[in-house]
């Protein structure tokens, strides 16, 4: 039985659970000890420009590995700067463990420099404070062993120097498996409802967005003869070219004709955190397959099964009678899909958002591409085209913040995705407003030679907010600025760069960038005139 310092036990347990890198911004003190322990364990240590970005990186790394992510920050200002990242981890269900050192009781007796009540600061962002971990192996084991699986909850820990050095002789504790309800009893009401439905529509959410589950989701939809829509974070759970996939589901207006043409709504892993804050628009019966209950929720389903989707999906599929699918013809699904896409296709004199995404997809995600890059999408008006039009073929091949819906997400997420899978790399689609919030991470891309291309939608304003201002007929509120030369900024970090002002120049830039590797940035001068029509079509 070995005798190890807590810090070494922590790193060993996280690595055994799938940790591959740690992300953070160090200060003096224990963050240096953490970095040293990670290097000794042969983990990659990634120094970010900002602490909030580091938490996002750690969370995305955890999502892609289906294990934990680890972020670190110094106490005081470092911890305070993590808060947007920790909020994203909470609402986007990212499994990031944040560690920041804390002053011990002796120091707190006389010192106030950089001291804040760190547990009180982060507790509202954690689930009832349950993920505020003490610095001991049992607390780490409890977090790693939580259900449902994989991890979807962030946590925070604030050890002082003595906590990290404390030695433990107990062996690692195994993760505790959660109890599973009797599926037959739980699924019975769902089987009855679905077996009598002639036109079920499946609304698929982030709990189902895992590569191992995608075939079982598609099999259930096909067996039931239904159609499917996916939330942004579940994009690819049914492939973009699956004939039963109609389009994205946001809780808005664009999908309502398709959903209302059904006779039953089946929610599969749908987390209500993803939907826009509008009242539920449907009076159809609803049944739900999920891995946990969520409160608040938009509705109470007529029947619900809370169990691991890896068990409930195949069991429900097997219990259904076969169907010929004739009640909802594929041709009608194709018509609904074409209608949705037409609503998002906006015309314009210059380089429109729809055209820009179509051009980028043709270069980076062509059907013959063996390993297309993962797409990361920032919050903003550009996300409507990106999330609907990109040919996503597998879960988590599109990454977006759609719970917190924070700007400044796409570039940090692309870094984590590229370091997780360097061969594939990542394409970050971001507006200029979101990019300005994390522009320092261009340094991180360059420092680690990450296989990242940034596609900058540069229109010189906060477009989505400006649309809302115009809808309220308010005067100019200073939401626009002179578009910066982002290509010049990125070139200063050693990026390959391109400027695109029309479809032809963007096509040339995307094809050159798609053929390359390493740090790249395309500064696309976007015509923002069509965004208003897009948001009206999407949300009503």
Share of residues in the chain with pLDDT > 90 (%): 73
| pLDDT tens digits, one per residue of 210-268 | 999 999 999 999 999 999 999 999 999 999 999 999 999 999 999 999 999 999 999 99
> What was the pLDDT predicted at 477?
73
Q: Identify the pLDDT of residue 428.
A: 99
Residue 304 has pLDDT above 50, yes or no: yes
Across the beta sheet with 264-268, the strand order is 245-248, 227-230, 200-204, 264-268, 286-290, 303-306
Q: Is 264 left (phi over 0), alpha (psi -120 to 50) or beta?
A: beta
Going from N- to C-terminal start, the domains of the chain cover 4-165, 183-336, 345-539
pLDDT of residue 80: 96
Selected residue with higher pLDDT from 345 and 202: 202
* CATH architecture classification, 183-336: 3-Layer(aba) Sandwich (3.40)
CATH superfamily of 345-539: Thiamin diphosphate (ThDP)-binding fold, Pyr/PP domains (3.40.50.970)
Q: What is the pLDDT of residues 314-351, one digit of tens each?
A: 999 999 988 665 689 999 999 999 999 888 887 777 88
State the pLDDT confidence band at 1, using cuts at 50, 70 and 90. Answer: very low
The C-alpha atoms of residue 273 and residue 161 are separated, in whole angstroms, by: 37
Pairing relationship of beta strands 4-5 and 167-168 according to DSSP bridges: antiparallel
Taking the C-alpha atoms of residue 322 and residue 317, their distance in angstroms, rounded to an integer, is 9
Does the bond joining 533 to the residue before it have cis omega, within 30 degrees of 0?
Answer: no
In 345-485 the beta strands, taken as DSSP E runs, fall at 374-377, 398-400, 426-431, 452-458
* Distance between CA atoms of residues 267 and 125, nearest Å: 26
| pLDDT for position 292 | 94
Same fold across 4-165 and 345-539: yes
Tell me the two tokens of residue 395: 């879960």
Longest dimension (CA), the chain: 76
CATH class for domain 4-165? alpha beta
pLDDT score recorded for residue 182: 73
What global pTM score does this model have?
0.94
Residue range 68-74: average pLDDT?
97
> What is the pLDDT at residue 171?
58
**Cα–Cα distance between 288 and 307 in angstroms, integer?**
11
CA separation for the pair 162, 182 (Å, rounded): 46
**pLDDT 10s digits, 455-493:** 999 987 677 777 777 778 887 777 677 888 999 999 999
Confidence of residue 129 (pLDDT cuts 50, 70, 90): low
State how far the Cα of 320 lies from the Cα of 422, in Å rounded to an integer: 42
Residue 22 class from Cβ within 10 Å (0-12 exposed, 13-18 middle, 19+ buried)?
buried
């Amino acid at each position: 039985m070995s005798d190890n310092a807590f810090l070494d036990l922590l790193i060993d347990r996280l690595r055994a659970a799938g940790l591959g890198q740690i992300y953070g911004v160090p200060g003096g003190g224990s963050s240096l000890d953490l970095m040293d322990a990670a290097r000794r364990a042969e983990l990659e240590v990634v120094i970010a420009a900002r602490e909030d970005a580091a938490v996002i990186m750690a969370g995305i790394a955890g999502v892609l590995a289906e294990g934990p992510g680890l972020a670190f920050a110094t106490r005081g200002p470092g911890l305070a700067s993590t808060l947007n990242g920790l909020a994203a981890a909470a609402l986007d269900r990212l499994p990031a463990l944040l560690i920041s050192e804390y002053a011990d009781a002796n120091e707190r007796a006389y010192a106030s420099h950089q001291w804040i009540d760190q547990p009180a600061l982060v507790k509202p962002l954690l689930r009832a404070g349950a993920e505020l971990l003490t610095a001991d192996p049992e607390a780490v084991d409890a977090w790693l062993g939580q259900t449902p699986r994989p991890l979807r909850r962030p946590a925070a820990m604030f050890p002082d120097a003595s906590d990290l050095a404390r030695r433990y002789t107990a062996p690692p504790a195994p993760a505790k498996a959660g109890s599973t309800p009797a599926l037959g009893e739980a699924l019975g009401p769902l089987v009855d409802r679905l077996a009598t439905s002639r036109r079920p529509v499946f609304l698929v959410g982030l709990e189902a967005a895992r590569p191992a589950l995608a075939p079982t989701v598609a099999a259930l939809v096909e067996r039931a003869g239904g159609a499917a829509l996916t939330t942004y974070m579940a994009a690819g759970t049914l492939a973009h070219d699956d004939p039963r996939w109609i389009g994205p589901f946001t809780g808005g207006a664009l999908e309502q004709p398709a959903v209302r043409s059904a006779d039953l709504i089946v929610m599969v892993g749908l987390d209500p955190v993803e939907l826009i804050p509008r009242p539920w628009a449907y009076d159809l019966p609803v049944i739900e397959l999920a891995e946990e209950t969520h409160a608040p929720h938009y509705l109470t389903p007529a029947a619900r099964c809370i169990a691991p989707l890896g068990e409930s999906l195949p069991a429900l599929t097997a219990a259904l009678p076969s169907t010929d699918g004739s009640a909802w013809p594929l041709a009608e699904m194709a018509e609904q899909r074409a209608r949705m896409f037409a609503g998002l296709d906006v015309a314009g004199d210059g380089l429109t958002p729809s055209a820009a995404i179509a051009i980028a997809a043709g270069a980076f995600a062509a059907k013959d591409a063996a390993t297309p890059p993962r797409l990361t999408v920032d919050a903003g008006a550009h996300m409507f085209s990106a999330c609907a039009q990109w040919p996503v073929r597998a879960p988590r091949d599109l990454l977006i913040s759609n719970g917190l819906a924070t700007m400044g997400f796409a570039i940090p997420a692309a870094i984590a995705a590229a370091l997780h899978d360097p061969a594939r790399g990542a394409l970050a689609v971001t507006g200029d407003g979101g990019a300005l919030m994390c522009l320092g991470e261009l340094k991180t891309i360059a420092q680690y030679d990450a296989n990242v291309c940034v596609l900058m939608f540069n229109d010189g304003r906060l477009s989505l907010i400006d649309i809302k201002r115009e809808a309220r007929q308010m005067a100019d509120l200073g939401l626009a600025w002179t578009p910066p030369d982002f290509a010049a900024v990125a070139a200063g970090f050693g990026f390959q760069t391109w400027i695109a002002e029309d479809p032809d120049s963007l096509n040339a830039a995307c094809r050159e960038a798609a053929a390359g590797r390493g740090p790249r940035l395309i500064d696309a001068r976007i015509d923002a005139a069509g965004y208003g029509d897009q948001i009206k079509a999407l949300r009503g």
